[in-house]
């Protein structure tokens, strides 16, 4: 996909409110990092009381995945999750607009040698991630150290799409943005020995999924990780990031490649991936994207878990 280019139509009055909002956000993110963490928590507090549908989805997910926690424990976790989501709004802006040197000071990286070794051997890598609220800044920080290609879906607003892509791609000057449906392009990138960010932890419907347990619940799980690894002759390298509680930045962890992957069946691979997701989400559940209806698609004959669809 070509690099994003500024277009004269972005100066049309219909885009002025967005320009104003982006300008104010740019000014705010010039503040110290600690101040932005506090602003993010305040935004999360506001979202908790105003985004009722998302709050209900997140609360339901926590109830399903952590039945052993008390109601009070889940409520505290829910509030912390919204605080993390609010902070993510400012992290997005930091990753787009902060000077690279200022941003790099927040990174605490472990396991970069796994990507470097694969690159030296000309081996493609599926950088298997999960949807933590810190994913935007995590990808930016890692992108300063190693070229990462990414799956991409065009935003409905062309100006926002331009700003978002420009902000993301500045960390990877030779990276490729691949349309999410362009499987051929993804396989080509993997066979060329490149690394591509990919997260298999959301519900993409029944068509390309099979049902395997996640936190003890049958979850529609995409089989694409197995297909991409096999057809792209690629290693699957797990990647996680975590916002540190002491305010010093982010711990980025590139884990060792999965052994014997793909395995004996797609079902076994999906189960293995979901077990890994359970493990990493449980380390910092407050930073996971619980507002996604992960268990929306149900096996035939099973009741819905979120009530009526909206």
Render pLDDT for 181-206 as a digit per residue (tens, 0 to 9). Answer: 788 888 999 999 999 999 999 999 99
Question: 271 lies in a domain?
Answer: yes
How does the average pLDDT of the chain come out, rounded?
Answer: 93
| Residue 147 buriedness (CB in 10 A; 0-12 / 13-18 / 19+) | middle
* Cα gap 141→96, rounded to integer Å: 11
Question: 163 lies in a domain?
Answer: yes
How distant, in Å, are the alpha carbons of 30, 98, 106, 145 from that of 101? 14, 8, 9, 12
Provide the CA 31 distance to its chain's centre, in angstroms.
25
Question: 229 lies in a domain?
Answer: yes
Over residues 206-251, the pLDDT tens digits come to 988 999 999 999 999 999 999 999 999 999 999 999 999 999 999 9
Question: 295 lies in a domain?
Answer: no
Provide the CA 156 distance to its chain's centre, in angstroms.
19
| 177 Cβ neighbours under 8 A, 6+ residues apart | 1, 149, 150, 152, 165, 168, 169
Average pLDDT for 153-177: 83
Q: Which domain holds residue 144?
A: 105-287
Q: What is the length of the chain? A: 310
| Residue 80 buriedness (CB in 10 A; 0-12 / 13-18 / 19+) | middle
Query: Tokens standing for 4?
Result: 């994003």
Question: 306 lies in a domain?
Answer: no
Average pLDDT for 91-99: 96
Total domains present in the chain: 1
Average pLDDT for 65-72: 97
Question: Which residues on neighbouring strands pair with residue 128, listed in sequence order?
Answer: 198, 238
Question: Which residues on neighbouring strands pair with residue 148, listed in sequence order?
Answer: none
The SS3 call for residue 149 is: strand
Placement of tokens 């995409």 in the chain: 222
Question: Is-contact 109 252, C-beta < 8 A?
Answer: yes
Over residues 100-141, the pLDDT tens digits come to 999 999 999 999 999 999 999 999 999 999 999 999 999 999
| 284 Cβ neighbours under 8 A, 6+ residues apart | 132, 242, 243
Question: 60 lies in a domain?
Answer: no
Question: 76 lies in a domain?
Answer: no
- Beta-carbon-side half-sphere exposure of residue 293 (alpha carbons within 13 Å): 16
Question: 239 lies in a domain?
Answer: yes
Placement of tokens 């277009």 in the chain: 7
pLDDT at 177 over 80: no
Provide the CA 274 distance to its chain's centre, in angstroms.
16
């Amino acid at each position: 996909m070509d690099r994003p280019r500024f277009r004269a139509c972005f100066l049309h009055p219909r885009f002025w409110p967005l320009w104003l909002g982006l300008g104010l956000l740019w000014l705010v993110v010039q503040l110290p990092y600690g101040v932005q963490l506090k602003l993010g928590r305040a935004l999360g507090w506001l979202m908790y009381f105003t985004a009722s549908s998302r709050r209900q989805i997140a609360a339901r997910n926590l109830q399903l995945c952590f039945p052993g926690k008390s109601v009070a424990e889940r409520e505290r976790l829910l509030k912390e999750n919204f605080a993390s989501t609010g902070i993510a709004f400012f992290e997005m802006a930091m990753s787009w607009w902060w000077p690279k040197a200022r941003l790099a000071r927040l990174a605490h990286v472990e396991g970069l040698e796994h990507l470097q070794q694969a690159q030296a051997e000309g081996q493609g890598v599926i950088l298997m991630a999960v949807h933590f609220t810190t994913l935007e800044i995590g990808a930016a920080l890692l992108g300063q150290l190693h070229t990462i290609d990414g799956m991409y879906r065009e935003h409905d607003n062309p100006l926002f799409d331009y700003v978002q892509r420009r902000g993301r791609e500045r960390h990877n000057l030779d990276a490729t943005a691949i349309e999410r449906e362009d499987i051929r392009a993804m396989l080509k990138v993997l066979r060329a020995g490149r690394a591509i960010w990919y997260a298999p932890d959301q519900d993409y419907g029944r068509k390309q999924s099979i049902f395997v347990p996640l936190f003890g619940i049958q979850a529609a799980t995409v089989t694409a990780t197995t297909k991409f690894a096999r057809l792209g002759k690629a290693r699957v390298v797990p990647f996680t990031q975590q916002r540190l509680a002491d305010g010093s930045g982010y711990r980025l962890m590139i884990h060792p490649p999965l052994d014997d992957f793909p395995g004996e069946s797609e079902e076994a691979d999906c189960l293995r991936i979901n077990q890994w997701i359970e493990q990493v989400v449980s380390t910092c559940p407050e930073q996971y994207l619980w507002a996604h209806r992960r268990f929306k698609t149900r096996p035939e004959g099973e009741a819905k878990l979120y009530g009526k669809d909206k």
